[in-house]
Structure 1
């Protein structure tokens, strides 16, 4: 718009400056609370203005320009230490700095810089206007994605019930899905909890916050499962009808979540409960028949599994009621002050910028690495007379990331996308010689490229190349030369980025892996403590309980993500892969067992916690404490005992007061008591077993 208006009024230079300012301020416009988004755009506009002003005076010889270029690049990149949105502000500054090498304006330097800042304000105005027009857009988009991810997670859990499926592959999918869900949950927390109430808006927000709470509960319930896998698999092999009945039920709930995602805000499109009710009737019938056989213990496992699914269906019904015409009282609203405790505050202390000046900091190493690579890239582009040395810098800035795996993938995708885009662009330009067609296709390609950046970087790189070629084809007759240099710049920039990640202060994941395991174990230990406290006291669920649960899920997902990054690194840098993978899986299984306990004691009346329960949880916590000590200093000494002495202790005794024969009783309280005893004790034995395995691995694994 500024360009078109500038052409019309004869002020093209001003229009271009405003447009560049808006474009460079846009990266920080990511989903989250509008307040954070607003400050992000303002800081981006300010940074763009400052770096463009400084660049206007950098008319030095190459030997002096290079260190200045490196210093400014480092200073901008180091801003990422303040978190994700700050990294996007940093990216805006780097983009503005690099692209300013290619721009020559007839305006005064200070005028051009101020107009860039005004362009950022123009973008903020548009963002604010869009938010006012459609304030629900981001909430609905992320809720819809969360419905779909939750549906896929539940469906994958259903597939895991089949003993003939590839459990290793499905378990890997679960870890990836849980990581994606946790990321989505964090974004939704920011949107729903930090959003300010507006007239006519608070009821909608509170309803969505209640829906979000149900989705979190659904994830916990989906993770929960009976733990005697061998007996369960044997039962499912002998009686495959149970697999089908339970899968039909689970898949129906997954399907309903997908339909809810498609329904949006239209209550008429919400799925009915009829099909789900029929599935429950079929499952209950099969489980009741099992009770009349000799499979008493298996009956208890399936009955508990059925009750988990009933809990899941109730949460699904609540979501549908909230999305319908159902009105809620203020007493049902979630206390936002308490809810804010679920959001980890970002440290914006100015001294943090300088405190991070250490090669132990991943961001510091990345900033230094990027600065050196940019200096090398500009030197090569200048010495060997590349058509546009700044293009090499642009590729480096876009591709290089703190992690090796992501940088390698982006470098590969960028090269492939550029080659494909160059070939397509050459064919189009060869066949069509119409500047208006080039202009239209250039704009369309740019819009598609920006839309695909987060979803498919290879396709995005293809359309970026198309956009650049089409736009320059209007101005430059030598399109073939443009394509050739575009490909050459990309190959050089991608190659430098890849080599820098290998040789310049690389940040290998195994260095951070031990800390990731420690955090996951500690979070699981804290969650276990909260479950134990709640089981003993009952009453209302304290906020600290839910925070501990959230932290356990978050750290387990972070550990899984760290392991996935490690698998993308060179084989020589993949330390203790088998043991690390086993620790990742054990942490996930530990959390699944905790989720089983948590789900059961929250939704059913349970008896008082016995002394055996307290003793069991104390033993489990001691094992986890030992795991943490092993990971930290390898001494593994607690209360004067060595780790080997602890491993020689007798395992938890078999629970022998479970009278399976009492199942013949029609007394519901007796059956309920047996269900509780069976589930709780099985989970405790399983937790103890996992903690013992983790302790052995922690003693032997070497990640230093």
Structure 2
């Protein structure tokens, strides 16, 4: 019982965040400096936004950089305000200067909003205390935050990676169960594939997250992570075999009608899913796995395959489920592999600065967007006669996310949560509860809020708003006066953030669909060259297979976000949705062919060369169709036509997959010829060549 409580991801996270916030308050209360304890507890908010609690092999180096930026921004704000420099100019200078952090790496990019939040916090402190006190609060607060998290991660070693692996195994279980539970209902890809695409996308996203954690921890050089590395490699094998696709709905229907194959396949899938959920709990709660066997289930599948040798579905399912069962029974991967190379872009400061000083730089444009939004927020404060409009500016930074859809959802949750929280706080302030009970209630509310923040940001905001009002009450003894003003400030900040995402250099995902589609085809082409090469190496195949999955995921994410953007072209997105569906089938065939190539189930060199040429021709036709905005036919004349039939007689399993890949590419070429001409006729969509981007 205690394992489930202390190792539960939400509980563990909530305990860590609550303790790091409330211990300084408790110490301040004990020493008679409650005000400083409450101010000290504000620093973890900056550290959370900066990601300084991320386990990293350079943990303390990142901590020093973050603390220095917080203190430096605080000092700059106080000194410039003392020189009567306008606040919009101060915030613009800070945002544009710190924007270069996004060019260094995606993890460093989080230092920009965190440092700006530290500067905004300083606005409420400037003039109320000496210049050095905010600097000391930020320096000591960051040091406390880092030391506490280092101790916590030492106490609960490996726990962040265990949480990610546990989520990955659960997602694989759900994906396997959904994919094979209702075979006869999967005949129509338009209705059956989108739910499976969502599950496949989540699985690949979790695999990418595990990769990043393993590289940040340098886990391949640490013997303490050996068991988790093995569990991760097992998950790679499982995802490879679960996500393969035969894509023969007619053959599936025939087999179901002639036998009880649907029940047997569902039996195998549910057995695998149940075992994966048990393994997810074992990883999360530090338990050793029990013995496992599914010989009866595999035997039933093999019997169906023998009874219907003319139907490929039986052999296909029996082979892949037998490989899954072997992984689950032996508790080790099918073959040893190296970790995927860490491809995250990390630039030194000088090259990053050179890249940043360009209007085409996304980091530069993001910094400019934030600086404009903060300037508008400060001017709005002037219009409302607010000397320090810090609440509006903090709202802007807290709700601004990477895309329009995420920002819109965050705005709704924050506005609704703030309204409910202010109503509750307004009612509670009339009871004049003693200070001790108030602090105890704030501790409980903080714990509950952190328990729910990952799953429901809005409910967490209710609790955080209540604690914020009571913090102001304890600091100034007039918290009631801030209630209506704070809600108005929250609404203004949300509107400014929404306007900034819509009108200030928006990165519309519908405009990026073509580029992501081109990148996905490029990854498919590299995978085909490896699979059909003379001697494909297993580690290289595994690496390229994941690149294919991740490239398709980027495309699928763009499509999902584009469907929620304002004013999108429904015909264009409907065609691209169909294009993405066929791209997913190609990904699943590549997953299957990777397993065959690793088992040396290969074609003859001459036939492999012919298939490779045909696939490359088909892929290049699709890429050129995306590249040029011209009527069909003019560009196709310069491209070799792929042969319709490359071999005669019965086809091997590898050839069946290749033939279906060619069929999907032919359909995708037709779709892209129609879809690109239906794109919107304004903004970034007017650029006809990908090379112009």
Contact 1:190 1:343 in 2 (8 A): no
Pairing 1:303–2:315 present: yes
Contact 1:417 1:461 in 2 (8 A): yes
1:163 is aligned to 185
Contact 1:182 1:553 in 2 (8 A): yes
* Superposed counterparts of 1:475-624, under 5 Å: 475=475, 479-533=479-533, 536-537=534-535, 541-572=537-568, 576-603=572-599, 606=601, 608-609=603-604, 611-624=606-619
1:261 is aligned to 280
2:688 is aligned to none
* Superposed counterparts of 1:60-139, under 5 Å: 64-104=86-126, 107-139=129-161
2:20 is aligned to none
Contact 1:513 1:563 in 2 (8 A): yes
Pairing 1:179–2:201 present: yes
Structure 1 residue 105, shift from structure 2 partner: 6.8
Contact 1:636 1:643 in 2 (8 A): no
Contact 1:362 1:507 in 2 (8 A): no
1:669 is aligned to none
1:628-665 CA deviation, whole Å, 9 max, x = no partner?
A: 22323447999xx8416769765225x5422xxxxxxx
1:251 is aligned to 270
Whole-angstrom CA distance in 2 between matches of 1:598 and 1:197: 26
* Structure 2: gaps (5+ residues): 1-22, 680-684, 686-693
2:458 is aligned to 458
Aligned match of 2:239 in 213, 219, 229?
A: 219
Tell me: CA distance 1:157–1:688, structure 2 relative to 1, closer, same or farther (3 Å): same
Aligned match of 1:284 in 294, 297, 302?
A: 302
1:324-366 CA deviation, whole Å, 9 max, x = no partner?
A: xxxx9xxx976xxx53625434234433244234443333322
Contact 1:620 1:688 in 2 (8 A): yes
Structure 1 residue 157, shift from structure 2 partner: 1.7
Contact 2:264 2:301 in 1 (8 A): yes
Structure 1 residue 456, shift from structure 2 partner: 2.1
Tell me: CA distance 1:10–1:428, structure 2 relative to 1, closer, same or farther (3 Å): closer
Structure 1 residue 566, shift from structure 2 partner: 0.8
2:438 is aligned to 438
Whole-angstrom CA distance in 1 between matches of 2:307 and 2:603: 31
Contact 2:87 2:378 in 1 (8 A): no
Whole-angstrom CA distance in 2 between matches of 1:520 and 1:489: 43
TM-score (ref. length: structure 1): 0.85
Structure 1 residue 96, shift from structure 2 partner: 0.6
CA RMSD of aligned residues (A): 3.2
Aligned match of 2:174 in 152, 157, 181?
A: 152
1:76-135 CA deviation, whole Å, 9 max, x = no partner?
A: 345333333223222220211112111247653135314412321222222222222222
Tell me: CA distance 1:89–1:443, structure 2 relative to 1, closer, same or farther (3 Å): farther
1:205 is aligned to 225
Tell me: CA distance 1:489–1:240, structure 2 relative to 1, closer, same or farther (3 Å): farther
Whole-angstrom CA distance in 2 between matches of 1:166 and 1:474: 61
Contact 1:396 1:493 in 2 (8 A): yes
Whole-angstrom CA distance in 1 between matches of 2:57 and 2:516: 31
Whole-angstrom CA distance in 1 between matches of 2:489 and 2:37: 29
TM-score (ref. length: structure 2): 0.86
Contact 1:192 1:208 in 2 (8 A): no
Structure 1 residue 379, shift from structure 2 partner: 1.4
Structure 1 residue 577, shift from structure 2 partner: 0.3
Whole-angstrom CA distance in 2 between matches of 1:251 and 1:150: 12
Contact 1:26 1:41 in 2 (8 A): no
Contact 1:373 1:497 in 2 (8 A): yes
2:644 is aligned to 651
Tell me: CA distance 1:71–1:567, structure 2 relative to 1, closer, same or farther (3 Å): same
Pairing 1:380–2:380 present: yes
1:371-425 CA deviation, whole Å, 9 max, x = no partner?
A: 1121111111222135962111111111112311111111111111112222333
Pairing 1:700–2:669 present: no
Whole-angstrom CA distance in 2 between matches of 1:415 and 1:267: 40
Whole-angstrom CA distance in 2 between matches of 1:259 and 1:409: 33
| 3-state SS of 1:84 partner | coil
Structure 1 residue 617, shift from structure 2 partner: 2.5
Contact 1:28 1:40 in 2 (8 A): no
How many residue pairs are counted as aligned between the two chains? Answer: 656
Whole-angstrom CA distance in 2 between matches of 1:53 and 1:2: 23
